[in-house]
Amino acid sequence: MHRVYAWLRRHPSVLTGLVAAPLGLASIPFALVADGLAGVLIWPVMIALLAGMVLRHHRPGTAYLLVLAAGLTLVMVSDTVVFLPVYLAMPMVLYSVAADGPGWARWSGLFWIAAAPMLVVARLITGAQTTVNLTSGGLLILWVVYAAPLAVGWIWGDAARSRRRWYQQLAERADRLERERRALDRAAVAEERARIARELHDVVAHHVSVIVVQADGARYALDSAPELTREALDTISSTGREALTELRGLLGVLRSDSGDGPAPQPGVAAIPTLVEGAPVAATLTVTGRERPVTAGLGLTAYRVVQEALTNALKHGGSGTTAAVTLTWRRTTLVVEITDTGTPADGEQHTGTPPGREQHTGGHGITGMRERVAAAGGRLETGPGPERGFRVRAELPYDKEIA
């Protein structure tokens, strides 16, 4: 049954033809009793009305003109009130014109809703006043009887047009919202990949700096201190493995188009491991009650510590020591890293503590400053209280968490 209904929807003329056939057959007895010129023209008029009824689905403008011509012809030749079943073609054609027809046919059809019944009434007054006594009230009723079906057909068709336009607007809006959603998804992916690119910079800068410094130290100690050389090579090996692990995770996200989400990033909980494996002798001090922080703030704290330790090794040498302090306050997490900036006795100095930001090209400290600012915090850098270099970052907690 569903297939039959779907087929009829694709071929509406078949259904209209099934309706037009019995209407035409029912109109034949009325046409047989007509005499004179009306009896001759009633047949082509009926055929025109039936043809317009079937043609309205494909050519509503042509069907409208055909039905209009047939109706006017019938009014001109008939001076009696005759209701034929095929007259239903008129409101049906008006429905199609109002729903799917051109603008000129739709608005002229609205005019003929009032004008055609008036022509019928006028024809009856002039042609039948000697045989039929029609009062003004009767003429008004007759006008309403002729005009009502035409008005219903036109209003129904106009409502169908408005409903279809409304559905079309809803579909266009849904399509526009879908395109906007896809654009936002693409922007989110691009933003995430840009963030991962920044993470790659930090990872590469940190680990490569450690490897270079340790390789320089191993070269200088190769002949005089084999144990230090072995220790430096072990550090290079472990640092390289750690770099490869982080790079695989980050590059895996960049290669993936599935949008499975960002790679897991280190946070505050990973800082003790970072300090323990730092290429310089470093200690960690934690004060205050630890609080839950957002992933972004935790990553910022981790990267600040990582970059500060990298700079300590780069500019102070392998003999530099560093102290990392995490202070949990009521509204902020204070991260402070202080290094000695001076190599121990007998160690080779591989950098220059003064002018640290200028010697690095500004990338390390500038990157830290941008990260802290993005988290809504503040970064202070400068000489340490006694010697070396100090980095201090104040990171506010998320307002909902604080």
pLDDT value, residue 342: 55
Name the CA radius of gyration of the chain, rounded: 45
pLDDT on residue 101: 84
- Going by pLDDT thresholds of 50, 70 and 90, the confidence category of residue 86 is confident
pLDDT-derived band of residue 392, with 50, 70 and 90 as boundaries? very high
Residue pair 344/387 in contact (Cβ under 8 Å)? The answer is no
Q: How far apart are CA 85 and CA 230, in angstroms?
A: 108
Place of tokens 């007998």: 346
As its CATH architecture, domain 266-402 has 2-Layer Sandwich (3.30)
Residue 342, token pair as written in the block: 């001076």
What's the pLDDT band for 103 if we cut at 50, 70, 90? confident
Which distant-in-sequence residues (6+ apart) come within 8 Å of 280 by Cβ?
Answer: 309, 312, 313, 316, 318, 320, 321, 322, 339
Decide: pTM greater than 0.95: no
> Has residue 8 got a pLDDT over 80?
no
According to the model, what pLDDT value does residue 211 have? 77
pLDDT for the residue 361? 36
| b/e burial code for range 322-351 (CB count within 10 A of at least 16 → b) | bbbebebeeebbbbbbbbbbbbeeebeebb
Annotated domain spans of the chain: 2-134, 266-402
Q: pLDDT by residue (tens digit) across 17-74?
A: 777 778 877 777 777 766 666 667 778 888 888 888 888 888 888 888 888 888 888 7
**For residues 170 and 183, which has the higher predicted lDDT (pLDDT)?**
170
Number of neighbouring beta carbons within 10 Å of residue 284: 16
69, two tokens: 């011509």
pLDDT in tens, 116-160: 888 877 777 776 444 445 667 777 887 888 888 889 989 998 999
Question: Closest Cα partner for 216 from 244, 235, 203?
Answer: 235
pLDDT at 357 over 50: no
The confidence score (pLDDT) of residue 39 equals 66
CA–chain centroid gap for 116, Å, is 52
Q: What is the mean pLDDT of residues 6-11?
A: 68
Phi, psi of 381 (to 5 degrees): -135, 150
| Tokens 């960002």 found at | 262
Higher pLDDT, 129 or 240: 240
